[in-house]
Chain A
């Protein structure tokens, strides 16, 4: 589903922060992406999410060479990827419901075709009574769950999560992990970027470890 071959990344004229990345993310797989702070986890996630282009090498996503993709094709591919960012990136002027429904709304789908699905998911992530709340009044954990719900509502083929448990207590972190595992069971490949050893110890999965710009894969 995702294949990296000799991929390198540098910002501007700076040093190469990711070097010779060779790995694949198979469909339905589950993996942790880990490494010390500043190792390039977020940059690798951004490469996977097509918000960065590699400075060298080949990135193949869903059978497409990303260097050949136009902006519209990138937008179409992103609809197959869900992403949860550290800072949630919820739109403050929209309610929780509207934020979660956004991936459907931007594709022009009629609201009646997805409303129930959004409400069900919000209830499932424990935000059933916060649907009409605006993000500024949500707690950190609620924002996190709203961001996750937005990422998974479109049943993505690939879910990327950047430190999804970084802002929540261990109990909630454990519950969030359960959500990702469950999503993986329904067929979504999951990549969780984290440096939380405890979180990784809770679930046996493949580990992609970034160290000094290189990636080591532990099956």
Chain B
């Protein structure tokens, strides 16, 4: 026989525990205001720092590679549309006359835009770093240099030019800088390759860091995950609750790292502009060309930030599902 009386759920007076009016009757807010996974439970600051650093490194690498690539292209296009003829001094021949004759030969070659013989003063300036100032070239057997600018993209008959130049002055040599351009090309290729390598390492390091952070967060929140399982939440639902946090952390890190990289490039560009015209600025420009990224370059930096944030999110999602599989 049952000794328990019936309970009518509809009747609010028949509550299990009558608390009377001892407790203050505060009007309840009773709303779902708390996140399923508390943000404070995920040690986000360290992860944001890691993602920011990784994004900064990736963006800097991308920017530097783009800068070098652009400068190399600039040098190559300048140099490849130029050729130099050296006329050496030979006993028994008039160097100035030889130079004039060679210049005429070069001028008459189809595809030439401008042909100019370097003056003695210009040649002296070229040798200044090695021989010092106040040099009199008359005392030295310094070759004369003829610089010719060609129509860009138009193929020159170099063999014919060489033959004709040799006829005009046997001691003259024609240099179209091809070997130097090839070296430049391989150096640029190596730089891009190294940049890609660094990017690859940064991405792998990001994935590993994020996986560790995700596992840590899941371990710290295991009781929550278990309760969510108890109440019938699917793995996808649980993963999405964590995923939001990691996506946000990734975006924060990406924004900080990418923003810092954009600032560094923007600042360097301003510094280069301030110093342009000064000896330091000229040296810098000679080495790196115009130290400025095109708008597409800045777009690439922003793209890096998005990429790293995306990798953070994907790596955490993958770890979330594999960890959830191990929790019943």
How far is B38's CA from A115's CA once the two chains are assembled, in angstroms?
22
User: A118 touching B30 by the CB < 8 A rule?
Assistant: yes
Q: Does A197 contact B (CB under 8 A)?
A: no
Most buried by A among B16, B25, B234: B16
> What are 29 A-B residue pairs whose CB atoms fall within 8 Å in the complex?
A51-B328, A72-B236, A75-B232, A76-B234, A89-B227, A89-B230, A93-B34, A97-B28, A98-B34, A103-B232, A105-B32, A105-B36, A106-B231, A118-B30, A119-B28, A120-B12, A124-B14, A124-B16, A125-B15, A126-B16, A128-B15, A129-B23, A141-B17, A145-B17, A175-B16, A178-B7, A182-B7, A186-B9, A203-B2
Give chain B residues whose Cβ lies under 8 Å from the Cβ of A75.
Answer: 229, 232-235
User: B16 touching A129 by the CB < 8 A rule?
Assistant: no
How far is B325's CA from A106's CA once the two chains are assembled, in angstroms?
18
Residue of B with least CB distance to A123: B12
How far is B38's CA from A108's CA once the two chains are assembled, in angstroms?
18
How far is B15's CA from A103's CA once the two chains are assembled, in angstroms?
22
User: B227 touching A102 by the CB < 8 A rule?
Assistant: yes
19 further interface pairs, Cβ-Cβ under 8 Å (given A101-B32, A131-B28):
A51-B230, A52-B328, A71-B325, A72-B234, A77-B232, A91-B223, A93-B38, A95-B30, A103-B232, A106-B228, A120-B12, A124-B15, A128-B19, A129-B23, A132-B26, A141-B17, A182-B6, A186-B9, A203-B2
Quick one: given A126-B19, A181-B4, are A98 and B32 in contact (CB under 8 Å)? Answer: yes
Q: Does B138 contact A (CB under 8 A)?
A: no
For chain A, residues 73 to 122, give those with C-beta under 8 angstroms from any C-beta of chain B.
Answer: 75-79, 81, 83, 85, 89-91, 93-95, 97-98, 101-103, 105-108, 111, 115, 118-121
Give chain A residues whose Cβ lies under 8 Å from the Cβ of B32.
Answer: 97-98, 101, 105, 111
How far is B38's CA from A147's CA once the two chains are assembled, in angstroms?
20
Q: Does B295 contact A (CB under 8 A)?
A: no
Quick one: given A98-B33, A98-B34, are A203 and B4 in contact (CB under 8 Å)? Answer: yes
| Contact with A178, one of B5, B231, B236 (Cβ below 8 angstroms) | B5
User: A119 touching B232 by the CB < 8 A rule?
Assistant: no
Q: Does B159 contact A (CB under 8 A)?
A: no
CB distance from B20 to the nearest CB of A (A): 11
Give chain B residues whose Cβ lies under 8 Å from the Cβ of A111.
Answer: 31-32
Give chain A residues whose Cβ lies under 8 Å from the Cβ of B155.
Answer: none
How far is B230's CA from A52's CA once the two chains are assembled, in angstroms?
12
Q: Does A25 contact B (CB under 8 A)?
A: no
How far is B4's CA from A136's CA once the two chains are assembled, in angstroms?
31
How far is B41's CA from A85's CA once the two chains are assembled, in angstroms?
24
Quick one: given A150-B231, A179-B7, are A124 and B12 in contact (CB under 8 Å)? Answer: yes
For the complex of A and B, 4 pairs with smallest distance between CB atoms? A126-B17, A79-B232, A106-B233, A78-B232
For chain B, residues 229 to 279, give those with C-beta under 8 angstroms from any C-beta of chain A.
Answer: 229-237
Quick one: given A119-B30, A131-B30, are A175 and B17 in contact (CB under 8 Å)? Answer: yes
Q: How many residues of A contact B (CB 8 A)?
A: 61
CB distance from A137 to the nearest CB of B (A): 12
CB distance from A136 to the nearest CB of B (A): 13
Interface of B is mostly: loop
How far is B272's CA from A126's CA once the two chains are assembled, in angstroms?
73
Give chain B residues whose Cβ lies under 8 Å from the Cβ of A83.
Answer: 230
Q: Does B226 contact A (CB under 8 A)?
A: yes
Q: Does A204 contact B (CB under 8 A)?
A: yes
| Contact with B34, one of A94, A174, A181 (Cβ below 8 angstroms) | A94
Give chain A residues whose Cβ lies under 8 Å from the Cβ of B23.
Answer: 129
User: B328 touching A107 by the CB < 8 A rule?
Assistant: no
Residue of B with least CB distance to A94: B34
User: B232 touching A76 by the CB < 8 A rule?
Assistant: yes
Residue of B with least CB distance to A103: B231
Give chain A residues whose Cβ lies under 8 Å from the Cβ of B154.
Answer: none
CB distance from B25 to the nearest CB of A (A): 6
Give chain A residues whose Cβ lies under 8 Å from the Cβ of B181.
Answer: none
How far is B234's CA from A87's CA once the two chains are assembled, in angstroms?
23
How far is B228's CA from A61's CA once the two chains are assembled, in angstroms?
20
